[in-house]
Every structure is written in C-alpha cells, then in structure tokens.
Structure 1
Amino acid sequence: MTPTSTGSPTFTCLGGGHGLYQTLLSARAADAAWINAVVTVADDGGSSGRLRRELDIIPPGDLRMALAALTADTEEGHLWRSMLQHRFGGNGAMAGHAVGNLILAGLTDQQGDMQVALDTVARWTGSVGRVVPMCAEPLQIEADVAGLDDDPRVLRSVRGQVAVATTPGAVRRVRLLPESPRATQEAVDAILDADVVTIGPGSWFSSVIPHLLVPDIVDALNRTEATVTVILNLSPEAGETHGFTTERHIHVFGQHAPDLRVDYFLADNFVSPTEGERTHLRRAASGIGAEIVFRDVRESHTEGDGFNRHDPAKLAAALLELMDAR
C-alpha cells in the first residue's frame, strides 16, 4: 500500500490508545493524502495482555484501535470499525476480547508477521492509511516511582504498562525492556516520508514517551523534513501523571529524549490561560528547540462546556496552520 499522489500532506502520527485514535481522526479531517500510525507495543493489560502472553505476539489492542480510526468512510467501512472494536461480554474464555484483537492474532499466527496481518486488515477495511508497530517485538515499560515507601526520597521500580499507569506513587522516569530496541523500518520510513508528524496526546509515560526511548525513532524525528508537533494533553491523567502541570509534561518529555528537537508543542487555549504561565511554558519548550502555540482544540458540546477530548476538526486546522507556518 502506498500513498496517493496529491497535493495534500502525508501525516504520520505517533502514540497509542485513545489519544492516537483522536489524532488519526484529525488527520482524516485534514484531508491527508496518506496517514501512517506508528503505535507503541508495550500494552500488557486486558485482551491485549492475554494474547501477548498466550501467543507471544505484539499486543494488538492499540494497533486495532488505529486500524478502526482509518476504515473507509462507507457503510461497509463503518461496519468494520464497529466490528474491530466490539468486545465479547459474559464471563467465559472470550469475555473481554475485542474482535479486532482476535483477527490480528489469528492472521499473525497464520502468516507469521504482525505487519502482514495489519496490512491485510487494512485492505479488507478500505483503510485510508497504514498502521505500523513502533518495534517488531513486544516491550515492557519499567518506571522509577516515588511515594511507595515511608521515605518519599526512595524510588521503587514498577514494571508493566498497567502497573505504571495505575501506580499510586509519582512516576519519575520510565525505560523500555529490552533497552534501546530497534524500530521497524516501516516506522522509520513513515517518519522520514511525512509532511506532518504528530507525537501524542495520550498516557504520557506509557503511550507517548516510549517512542522517545527508541534510538531509531529519535534519529528519524531529527532527520525528517516534516513539521513535528507534540500535542499536549488537555489535563493530567489519574495515576501516572496525577498533579502534573503542562510545564511538567514538557520537562519530562525533554528529560527522556535530551537529543530530540521538535518544532512545536500544541496546547489548548485553556490549559494555561495567564500570560505568566505561558511565559514559563515558552521557556520550557525552547529547551527542546521548540515553540509552544495555543489554540482552541478541545471538543465542546452545545452548552459550550468542553469535553476532555481533542476535536478532530479543530486539531486538523491547527496542525495544517503550523505546517504552513513552518
């Protein structure tokens, strides 16, 4: 599968879970000529974790969600999107499994390669892009966490994506096991061939930062001619980033990838409304060679209150504006 030759930009979106899903919808809203999803592979919970342990495969859940976001805008494509996301209920052996996870697991078992399985499902669903794993092997996340001991200065190691995401302590730093894994060539090519690259939003330590711990990914991000934009979360997440300010999110990003340079951090207008707060954020972003910009990107309803979710159309407009400005 190759992108079409049009004047529209190619988007490559890095992340995982619901944050990546919304970003892929925004790439569609931007009328992208082609969309690549580069997806984390460290999930160890739920259906994905069970299939990972039982079949020794890359966890399929985040990959499935990205496939669902890219299905054709037709009646059949909408049916596929619903089917990929459908979960079995009850209390039996199938309970909790998503249909898309099982399809990907079966195709991988039959064809011996997750990328082949992903491309096969993309053809079936009339996908408007390609989903590629960040790495070709399942990874583990390990975190240094404070607050799990009587002495708050003591750091304890917590291993596993679910454990990191739900820890009652304060995450200080994360790493991947094995360390410095190789990226897939498809992921590297997707970054190098893009016009727009997005990182985030999403679970900061378990969906966003893992990309920064893969040397090939960092190298590709530094070499690409694309506009690289980090989409900041609308609010801290319970668990791994509880109590984090927007400035803290930027600092943690830089600490995990000190050699990485990006073009923009994109924040919602209401994240830091005062000029004093924005001055601190500009200083934090400049430490990564970036500029921070503030736009209205939050989804809202008729009463005018905001949802804690990015609006695809608003986000698309902001990303295209930044691409044109650069």
Structure 2
Amino acid sequence: MLVVFVLAGLLLPGALFAGGGAEGAKGPMKILFIPFTMEHVFQKELCDGAKIPIPGFPGLQVIVEDPYGKIERELEILETYMSKGIQGVVMYPIDSKALAPVVQEMKQKKIWVFTTGNHVEGEHIGMGTDERDGGLLAADMFIRWWGQNRQGKTPHILLLDIPNVPEPQRKMIAFEEVVKAKIPAATFFHVDSNGSTEPSLTGTEQYLQSHPEINFIFGINASATLGGIAACENAGRLDIAHASSGAEPPILALLKKPLSAQGGGVVWDIGYGKSAVQYGNHLVEVAAKAMSAGSVEGLKIDIGFQEVWRDNVDQVIATMQEWRKKANLAPMDF
C-alpha cells in the first residue's frame, strides 16, 4: 500500500541544531515512512499523524509504505525508494540484523535513517522510548491492582508477547522480572503473539485447556489482547482479567465497558506518553529538523508511558480525539 502526503507549512524553516554530521537537506524534503504494519491500530494512527503539516517545512512530502509486518517487504520497499530521491526514512525495523546492510547502503547514499519501535545498527537516531520502562510501570500497576482486587490469590499470568522483536519484548521481560520478585508464587506462561490477533487467540485457547489456573492475561498490544479476550469468551472464562499496552482505541473502549459478573475484562493499559497520531507527527517533525540542520545533536524522543485505568480513560480519549481532529480524522465513537 502506497500513500503519499505533501505537508504544507506556513512558517519559515525552524531553528537549526548545532553539531556536526551530514550536510543539511536543502529545499522541500521527501521522507519515507514505514510502520510495522497498518493492520495494527496504533501503527495505522502513526501514519495518520505523519500527514499532519509540520510548521516551518513547506512542501515536505511524506511517503507511507506498509510492509505488512514482513521483513522481506520492508527490504523491498527500502531498495525501491533508495533510487527515488528520498532524503530520509522513518521506519520500524522488523528485523534489525537483516536491515543493517541496507542501512549502511542508505547512509552511503546520504539518506538519513530514523527508527522507532526497534533499533538497527547504523541508525542516525532511534526515536521512541525505553520499552523496559513500560514493563516496570506495568508491573507496578499489576501489583497494585492485584493487591486491591485479588488479595490472597496466586497470579497465574499468560503473556501474549513478541519474542522475535527485541525492543518491545523488553517490556514483557521487565514485567515478568518485577512481578516474580514481588510475588514469588506467581507463575507465567508465554504465547508468541507476533503482535497479532489470530496467534494470540489460538495460543490462549491451548493454554486455557492445559493450564485452567490462568487468571490474568497481559497483551503486547491491542491486537494480541483482543485475541486473548476472544479465546476467553469462547471458553466461557469470563473471570479472567486482561491488561494491554499502547492505549489503542479498541482497548480504551473496553475500559469503558463494565466488568463481567465474575470480575473479568480489561482492567488497565500501559499507554505511551503521546497518542499514536501525536507520536507519528512528532516522529516526522524530529526527522525533518535533523535533516534540515544536518545534525541530530540535541534531538531526542522519549515519550515515556502513562497509566490508563477505568477512572482516567475519558481523559486519554479526549487527548486522542484532539489529535485525530488535527489529522482531519473523524472522532471515534466510544
């Protein structure tokens, strides 16, 4: 899928950043934007944010290409656009090792390389946040919630994680480490969700049969969490509590729904410090500033994390709706 946006700005180019590096880009810039897959709500909204005009960069062109979560497709996209006059790329590296040689080739061609969600050797700057911090906060949220709602019971936790993508997996590793340290009796099970619904559903169904003691499920993103919820509903396990990561709209909607009579349902989410649309806009803004200045000195994105509970979900939704409006998107119905 190819989507091209031309961002019109009204202000003069923003202040340059001091420091060495490649020569700054001259005139209107062309940036390639590659998410993990637009099949995921969060990643789709990153792309929506990428099209919001960046003040100070008139004529900035953003080209969005969807690799559908496949490294072969991502490599093909990069090889294609290296010869099409792009000056920079903002991408989610699906396989860091496979991408390293291509990144070196792009740098030889004076193409700026910015990453988000994962890192790759040779990148000019990695933009995002330390996913381990998210895991530490998620563990703290879980321990507080468990103490208030499941006091006296032993947690048996199914993690719908993503072991083949190192950076987001750091969140799940940190979560398990801290919970095990604080609640030594807790047990953990793992499903390689690939961040998708179908493997999460299938894996959860299998574990509910082999380990019916499971009473909490934590998903790496909304797609994984929805698969786990569907499996629980199919099995009649409405007692199981769920948590997710990313504060994506489907999970925000479920946080507004009442819990089941048995206390099951989505109880919290570990959200990023910016909405997905806002984050996508910020990624392009930082890339454009670095390319204009010819330096990444002084530039950093660390959006952090926020706690999303049932009692503050309306505030999170309000911020998300504000940024959807800036991207000319219709408000979502919750």
Instruction: Provide the TM-score with structure 1 as the length reference.
Output: 0.29
Which one scores higher on RCO, CA 8 angstroms, separation ≥ 6?
2
Instruction: Provide the TM-score with structure 2 as the length reference.
Output: 0.28
Which structure's CA Rg is the greater one?
2
